[in-house]
Amino acid sequence: MAKQPRNRQLEKSVVRTLCEKKGIYTVEGFESAFYQYLLSPFKGQDEDAVLKNYLNTPTRSWNGEAVGVRQAEKLADFFGYFGDYTRLQTLPSSRWQYLITSKDTVSFFNPKFESSGLALYGEVQDKENDKNLRKVPISVRWRLEVCLNSEESLFVALRSDNEIHQLAPASSSRFSFEKIKKDHFGFPGNKWLNFPIEFGLGFREIIAIKSRSIPIHPKGSGDPTSLSQLELDLFANALISQDSDFQLARYPFWLVAE
């Protein structure tokens, strides 16, 4: 009889998706929440002794590296699957969710905020949420500085907990690009964007994809346009099929009151 492998390969897109459902958007936030979960039944005991068998477990699973059986079972416990780590090995049904959680991110844009002094760390209302994210006041205007060559096209969306709004490509000339220097552009044009007050406060994320072509129709006439789950899945499926070398950048943050 063949020996069972000692380690278990988990699907990183599932791990990252489940983290997001818990309000965790960074590997640092995942480490903090997982270690707190392990320590909670053992208050007052030696923390190093409790954690010694699980060090780097969150990072390895976040990056798609194999972990031990005991570690996989404890991760399943953390996500509410009572030790059934096989639930962490099945691809998500949504192609869009698979795209943004399985593709490793790169940095090709910098968000520019109109005011300075924004806090990187700070308490948020829900203790389970990721505290490693920047806090941005809702009144701040913003734009992007994007690294883009002449052969690449750009998709930009602003994501909240419940909706994703497409900013580029857009049918409005207001969403053009301003050349800053070679292969560096300001978006949108030389203007600034506002965070819609009617969407409220809470988690936000700027998602950008650059590729040889963007298989989604320009939308909007100057305002962010909501995308349905079907539109997102069709876009993700077409993109994955036509250009496996596309690049993905994500910038999560908390939108807060003044």
Q: Tell me which architecture the domain covering 7-91 has in CATH.
A: Orthogonal Bundle (1.10)
Summarised one tens digit per residue, pLDDT across range 158-206 is 998 788 999 888 766 556 777 777 888 888 877 888 888 888 888 999 9
- Interval 218-230 mean pLDDT: 74
Summarised one tens digit per residue, pLDDT across range 22-61 is 989 999 999 999 999 999 888 778 888 888 899 999 999 9
Which residue bears the tokens 């991110």? 105
- How far is residue 58's CA from residue 48's CA, in Å, rounded to a whole number? 16
Residue type, 185: F
Residues composing the chain? 258
* Whole-number pLDDT of residue 173: 57
Listed in sequence order, the residues at least 6 apart from 68 whose beta carbon sits closer than 8 Å to its beta carbon are 6, 7, 8
Give pTM, 2 decimals: 0.81
Domain assignments of the chain as residue spans, ordered by start = 7-91, 101-256
* Whole-number pLDDT of residue 70: 93
* Whole-number pLDDT of residue 124: 46
- How far is residue 166's CA from residue 174's CA, in Å, rounded to a whole number? 14
Nearest to 212 by CA among 176, 243, 181: 243
3-state DSSP call for residue 248? strand
